[in-house]
Structure 1
């Protein structure tokens, strides 16, 4: 059997709405690994935010921070940080508009403000045991791969126009991911499969969110979750069941991996 690599988004794909791992998904991942395939994470989260999941599923390969920090067998093989000068300008513009920013590297996340209800709501929705702490200068002395900018849709459009150095992708009603221009899960995956020498036709991907669109467009064997947003379903080759209806298991059946 030809070795395949299968990429899974985390939230509302591997994990259900309560951030729990369905038993059917856990068994499916184990079966893929037993069959000799590579199972990888492809997430907007930073590595510190899914450490327990890696351990639970025995996964050591991942595309994190929406493709900006890529790891194969626990070794980083690709890093793409935000341009410092542009990030500094974004920070100033956000401060003037009283829009909080959270800065992320692969080990931690820090906020430009001590407290804001929108930051609290968005971060708490991830249900992590890793609180965001206050450090407005964190981006000055760390490699920042992604930021979270807290603003409404109108302000988001203004930031997009003013800062072409970045990609802005909404992940929460109060927040957008800020990535390097051209940065995406797809770009991170390109670097990983090139590193491994795996043919694109032997890659598979599952996702549900707007930050999965580029990945699902790039990978020929793509699967949108039944709970995915409409633009995500429109670019995927296959659509499986809802995450709460054993969507990953059924999707793997659809593509013939189980």
Structure 2
């Protein structure tokens, strides 16, 4: 175990470029890591159903999804941390009054509390996925919801941050914010996996580029920020590699000594 490592990769802006395409050098690097006996995993804010195609393409069966709220090790769910129902219901009522739509997401699907809204269309379409939320305002009442999306302009989320201390709000798009359980993060999900696999911290690696990667990058010992990341994200990481467009994954893996 001591000469093998576990490497966690974010998806958007890390494995995938701005056009949601995976550079060929990235794919080859992932398979080379696996060939060398390393454990390769994904750590993303996406729902499991939003990146099954990527898992299949890369033959990856271990992942942290929903920013740490739904964690799977070798195909088995090992950790779940859903949103609290009562505050989610109250937030939904307030958001509806403010014309701020909400989308509810479990491990299988996502549903919106309004039939349609331009903010939902605008933000979800940037993910370039084949899934789109359909209308079911009561979806959250009968199942565990691991993440919600609040659709509002930048700054408008502050009123909710103060009113709902059970949740963390992380912006991922100019008109959309992730709603997560308070204190939930990719770092917590990674901790669950590493504890079960037994990898010491010096053999843990993480690559990311977004605001939701900051805790992961500041917690994992060998962390690498992409060159396309914002400055605040780069400051959280131990290393900074090139942009995803410029073979950043391959360059970063060579930088930290995992590939030659």
- Displacement over 6 Å in runs of 4+: none
User: Between Structure 1 and Structure 2, how many residues are aligned?
Assistant: 258
Q: How far 1:174 sits from its partner (Å)?
A: 0.3
- Per the alignment, residue 165 of structure 1 pairs with 166
State the alpha-carbon separation in 2 of the partners of residues 69 and 133 from structure 1.
22
**Aligned ranges 1:138-177 → 2 under 5 Å:** 138-177=139-178
State the alpha-carbon separation in 2 of the partners of residues 78 and 151 from structure 1.
30
- Per the alignment, residue 187 of structure 2 pairs with 186
Residues 98-136 of structure 1, C-alpha deviation per residue, up to 9 Å, x if partnerless?
A: 100111111111111111011001000001111211111
- Per the alignment, residue 204 of structure 2 pairs with 203
Q: How far 1:154 sits from its partner (Å)?
A: 2.7
Unaligned runs of 5+ residues in structure 2 are none
**Aligned ranges 1:1-258 → 2 under 5 Å:** 2-258=3-259
Unaligned runs of 5+ residues in structure 1 are none
State the alpha-carbon separation in 1 of the partners of residues 50 and 247 from structure 2.
23
Give 3-state SS (helix, strand or coil) of 1:214's partner. Answer: helix
Across the aligned residues of Structure 1 and Structure 2, the Cα RMSD in angstroms comes to 0.8
Residues 182-204 of structure 1, C-alpha deviation per residue, up to 9 Å, x if partnerless?
A: 10101111111112222122110
Give 3-state SS (helix, strand or coil) of 2:156's partner. Answer: helix
Residues 51-96 of structure 1, C-alpha deviation per residue, up to 9 Å, x if partnerless?
A: 0000000000000000000001111000000001111111111111
State the alpha-carbon separation in 2 of the partners of residues 37 and 89 from structure 1.
45
State the alpha-carbon separation in 2 of the partners of residues 133 and 156 from structure 1.
23
Q: How far 1:158 sits from its partner (Å)?
A: 1.0
